[in-house]
Amino acid sequence: MKFAPKILHAVCLFSLVSSSHAAISLFAEYRLGEAGSLGANNLPLDSSGNNRDLTNQINGGSVGVGTTGVFAPGSTAYIDTSAATNQGWFGNALTGIADDNFAFGVFARASGQGANNGNVFSLGGGGGFKLSLVSNGWGASQHNVAWISDVNGNAGTFVADQWVHLALIRSAGVTEFYIDGVAQGANYAGVPTHENAHFSVDPGGATFFDGHIDEARVVTFTAGESAQDILNVLQGVPEPSSVSLLALGVTAFLARRRRNL
């Protein structure tokens, strides 16, 4: 049994890998269409166990739930805000989040860039960070303060009826905007002010988002966490289970040992 210590080493190594996201914590999670994810008037309910449900709505009861062309990992449904009626939700459930070492993201798609495009998901009104569809494409901003993306969105990023994942990661005082996991070169230093979170409506109610929204998440993390690991959590990318990783490691070790016999 001389190889027992090597197997033990494999167990330890793969256990460490499987816990690589332990420093990233879900602050809130809105599944937006899954069973149990919507309350009265389709109010987004927090699935993280932290009870950060949204509490206010604008015509939210008229919103539909769609299942055609679902894209987000682990999702089977999304909310559809593309009706002619303006629809949105807001609430102060996220005001307790820190102003550094946090991130949030959401999946979205729309049929066009009409006049009635706006906020998809934001963490506040005056000074809150916002992800939106605007005249040039998908964008990010600090509401009523400054653009994080290019002014009026990043040109060429919008494709009709195509899902994208939008995210903002603020780490060590710098915020980066991501579209489908690709950094957009923002490097924004402004400090956010978290107020009422909003889905599908701009703070103040001036514009609404016409489209589909799915799988919104807010996370906090320890300083120095990798952007890729944060994005994986925001996008709901499943990690291999510790059992699978252990089996893979032991299998690889045994295969190598057989080749050396």
Q: CA-CA distances (angstroms) from residue 56 to 66, 86, 193?
A: 22, 14, 20
> For residues 140 and 166, is the Cβ–Cβ distance under 8 A?
yes
Residue 256, domain member (yes or no)? no
Please report the pLDDT score of residue 195 as a whole number: 84
Q: At what angle do helices 4-18 and 242-260 cross, to 10 degrees?
A: 150
Q: What is the pLDDT of residues 7-41, one digit of tens each?
A: 433 333 334 334 445 699 999 999 999 999 999 99
Mean of per-residue pLDDT scores for the chain: 85
Q: CA-CA distances (angstroms) from residue 8 to 12, 19, 151, 240?
A: 6, 17, 54, 19
Please report the pLDDT score of residue 116 as a whole number: 59
Residue 53, domain member (yes or no)? yes
Distance of alpha carbon 116 from alpha carbon 17, whole angstroms: 45
Question: Domain holding 186: CATH number?
Answer: 2.60.120.200
Please report the pLDDT score of residue 240 as a whole number: 62
pLDDT band for position 238 (50/70/90)?
confident
Please report the pLDDT score of residue 113 as a whole number: 83
Distance of alpha carbon 28 from alpha carbon 44, whole angstroms: 11
Residue 36, domain member (yes or no)? yes
Tally the domains of the chain.
1
Show contacts of 251-259: CB within 8 Å, 24+ apart.
252/10, 253/3, 253/6, 253/7, 253/10, 257/3
Residue 14, domain member (yes or no)? no
Distance of alpha carbon 139 from alpha carbon 68, whole angstroms: 25
Segments forming the whole domain that contains residue 43: 21-237
Please report the pLDDT score of residue 15 as a whole number: 40
Question: In this structure, what token pair is assigned to residue 36?
Answer: 């149990």
pLDDT at 81 over 70: yes
> For residues 76 and 188, is the Cβ–Cβ distance under 8 A?
no
Residue 16, domain member (yes or no)? no
The residue-averaged pLDDT of 126-140 equals 94
Distance of alpha carbon 244 from alpha carbon 151, whole angstroms: 45
Please report the pLDDT score of residue 17 as a whole number: 39
